[in-house]
Structure 1
Amino acid sequence: MAEAVPKDGDGTGTSAAVSLPLGLPPIVRADGSAARALVVDDEQALAAAVGGSLRADGWEVRVEHRGRSALIAVREFQPDVVVLDIMMPDIDGLDTLERIRAIRPEIRVLFLTALDGHDDRIAGLRAGGDDYLTKPFAIAELQARVRVLARTAAAIARPAESQLRVGDLAVDKAETTAELGGSPLELTPTEFELLLLLANNAGRVLRRAQILEAVWGYDFGAESNLVEVYVSSLRRKLAGSAVLNLETVRLVGYVLRVTDHEPGA
């Protein structure tokens, strides 16, 4: 697909990596390590140019060229900011963002795309994008916009919260343990990942495909009952909760809800 290329500060097009350091100190995480940016674009030369410019500005960078590989990178690389194209051949950027939010809702996302229409911008922001920059673009502007997103990213602004509480459920992300009403839950590693995903998105319906992508990394196909098996197991283990319901939304997916009464009451 024909893609716009970056332009330098004078507005001239270029297909090479451009380094225009801002002369500012690098953005760092709470632990002092470099902030992480994931660049996702199917145009490899453009992705390399964007990645190179962010490295020059002090970021640790990973580059991917497909939506599916980006979802794997979100789990493995744990980025603070994602620079995301919309027009990609496997999963478009809007759908990729929806799946990213299911895995890491706190990540800041900048759409970088050739779609420059007014309606395109609105669609991107309504889909959950934090910023929207059209191609061609100035590298210095991209660097500045990503820095702004970094300043508001929870993972950089303060240490990541280890404890997650939903109703009478407590999940310790660092220790990969969970308690229900103060009593430990015995969970397999996969059950823990699924429970964490549901707890992070409590009250929000997650589609089956989103769950497969987030927990297992890919879609096993419609014939697989993998999600159903693990949801059933989690339901049994959460049955003692006074306020949690793990519900099936017919033909859509699953949702963990906090109620104000005991299940079945």
Structure 2
Amino acid sequence: MKILIIEDEVRIASLVQQGLEEQGHQTVIAHDGLNGKKLALQKDYDLVISDIILPGLNGIEVCREIRSAKPDMAVILLTALGTTDDKVDGFDAGADDYLVKPFDFRELLVRIRAVMNRKGGTSIAKSDILKYADLELNNQTKIVSRSGKEINLTPKELKLLEYMMQNSERVLSRAEIAEKVWDTHFDTGTNFIDVYINYLRKKIDRDFTVKLIHTKPGLGFIFKEEA
């Protein structure tokens, strides 16, 4: 599953991430409520695991926003607040389950399985449409548009764009792109990744003031909204 972890305590976030990835899940971490809400609403996750006490926006409000925009997305709240009233607030906001800190990671796995089974397993339907800023990619029709203007992409450009949109605001190395998009190991003696990035950049960014594809020298590339 693709799981978003919203937790401001770095140690706890890292432990949960490590445990989930050891179970084969893909994870993303947000360390505050505002960024967590943004990621949850921009992308399609199977599950969101969120602390309640967060900087910027508390987990109850994050859960409420998620439930309003994406009613099928599973949400588990983690918190040190264990009173009945706190739990009622969480469930009223739309949480699927509520786990009080400190907890055993095995208990979290049990709760995740129970929630996903209630939701119909891990096959929660993902949106056919990826959106980021004013860019939209329809996975069914394979149509890409930005500000309503249709953009023609080759199949490989489309696959590259889809991967970058699914991993927006995270630096992607050439090696990762080669492995995930081309199913190959990156050969440092070639520049085919850069060539395709340039192809995509010309089509996606050239006619727009706000750029979405950026180069991080020595590191790779990042897909994010930046003038």
TM-score range normalised by the length of the shorter chain: 0.5 to 0.7
Distance 2:27 2:91 in 1: 24
- Note closer, same or farther for the CA distance 1:97–1:176 as it changes in structure 2 (3 Å cut): farther
Correspondence for 1:81: 47
Q: Are 2:16 and 1:50 aligned?
A: yes
Decide which of 101, 107, 118 is 1:152's aligned counterpart.
118
SS in 1 for 2:5: strand
SS in 2 for 1:63: strand
Decide which of 103, 108, 114 is 2:80's aligned counterpart.
114
Distance 1:120 1:158 in 2: 28
CA contact (8 A) 1:80 1:153 kept: no
Correspondence for 2:56: 90
Flag as ranges the 4+ runs of structure 1 deviating above 6 A.
Answer: none
- Note closer, same or farther for the CA distance 1:130–1:189 as it changes in structure 2 (3 Å cut): farther
What is the Cα deviation at residue 77 of structure 1?
4.2
Distance 1:48 1:120 in 2: 25
SS in 2 for 1:91: coil
- Note closer, same or farther for the CA distance 1:58–1:91 as it changes in structure 2 (3 Å cut): same
What is the Cα deviation at residue 60 of structure 1?
0.7
Q: Which amino acid aligns with 1:82?
A: V
Correspondence for 1:141: 107
TM (norm. structure 1) is 0.47
Q: Which amino acid aligns with 1:92?
A: N
Q: Are 2:14 and 1:38 aligned?
A: no
**How many residues are aligned here?**
140
What is the Cα deviation at residue 99 of structure 1?
1.4
Distance 1:88 1:159 in 2: 29
Residues 215-265 of structure 1 deviation map (CA, whole Å, 9 limit, x = unaligned) = xxxxxxxxxxxxxxxxxxxxxxxxxxxxxxxxxxxxxxxxxxxxxxxxxxx
- Note closer, same or farther for the CA distance 1:142–1:109 as it changes in structure 2 (3 Å cut): same
CA contact (8 A) 1:151 1:157 kept: no
SS in 2 for 1:156: coil
- Note closer, same or farther for the CA distance 1:174–1:132 as it changes in structure 2 (3 Å cut): same
Q: Which amino acid aligns with 1:39?
A: I
- Note closer, same or farther for the CA distance 1:149–1:136 as it changes in structure 2 (3 Å cut): same
What is the Cα deviation at residue 134 of structure 1?
0.1
Q: Are 2:46 and 1:62 aligned?
A: no
TM-align CA RMSD: 2.9
Correspondence for 1:255: none
Correspondence for 1:72: 38
Matched ranges for 1:1-265 at <5 A = 35-153=1-119, 156-157=122-123, 159-160=125-126, 174-175=140-141, 188-189=147-148
What is the Cα deviation at residue 71 of structure 1?
2.0
**% identity of equivalent residues:** 28
What is the Cα deviation at residue 160 of structure 1?
4.3
What is the Cα deviation at residue 156 of structure 1?
3.1
- Note closer, same or farther for the CA distance 1:159–1:89 as it changes in structure 2 (3 Å cut): closer
TM (norm. structure 2) is 0.54
What is the Cα deviation at residue 152 of structure 1?
3.5
Gaps of 5+ in 2: 130-137, 150-227
CA contact (8 A) 1:39 1:61 kept: yes
Correspondence for 2:209: none
Greater share of helix residues, 1 or 2?
2
Q: Which amino acid aligns with 2:53?
A: M
What is the Cα deviation at residue 56 of structure 1?
1.3
Higher RCO, Cα 8 Å, sep 6+: 1
